[in-house]
A and B are shown apart, each in its own frame.
Chain A
Amino acid sequence: ETGVTQTPRHLVMGMTNKKSLKCEQHLGHNAMYWYKQSAKKPLELMFVYSLEERVENNSVPSRFSPECPNSSHLFLHLHTLQPEDSALYLCASSQRGGQGDTQYFGPGTRLTVL
């Protein structure tokens, strides 16, 4: 496995379900990110973890709950979502503090909330 992987690639859930998105990075980076990508909108940063501690939380509703058990894994726990939460959820990683702090993205999870 190389780069940043995400599972599942597609998820359909009802508003009362609980599910989790998983991200794994194989790049030895020290920071991981969750983004939401909706059509015709800029990528929206949701959460940032640096050295396994949450450093940013951009006013994301509490129905999204991140977890970073170690520097290689990142989860996004979902519960009681709304149809407007349907989007592509992207995970990224970077070596924070380095030159340019380039972010490397996974393929995303396409989430549909019914």
Chain B
Amino acid sequence: RKEVEQDPGPFNVPEGATVAFNCTYSNSASQSFFWYRQDCRKEPKLLMSVYSSGNEDGRFTAQLNRASQYISLLIRDSKLSDSATYLCVVNGLSGGGADGLTFGKGTHLIIQP
């Protein structure tokens, strides 16, 4: 099983729709989870941390399911500017280095007008 696994997509979604995607992780002891956003040919930027109770930031909702070892990101009322690659980041995995942060390969989201 890959340490951090994401569906690479692309997810093609009409503007205004709701889209959700998941990320699975291998270490049940992981404690810290993040979603980063990466635009084409740009650096990754933190979108939001993921807390145990779930958290919301505007149109974005992140949830953690420890039992099934996945985190999710839901985007409501999607905008054209949401088009990007969304990276799942988890700590406590082998070989993650840098205090154990491991980045997934990302899910590519395309919002269509």
A and B: bona fide binding partners: no
Q: Which B residues lie at the A interface, using CB under 8 A?
A: none
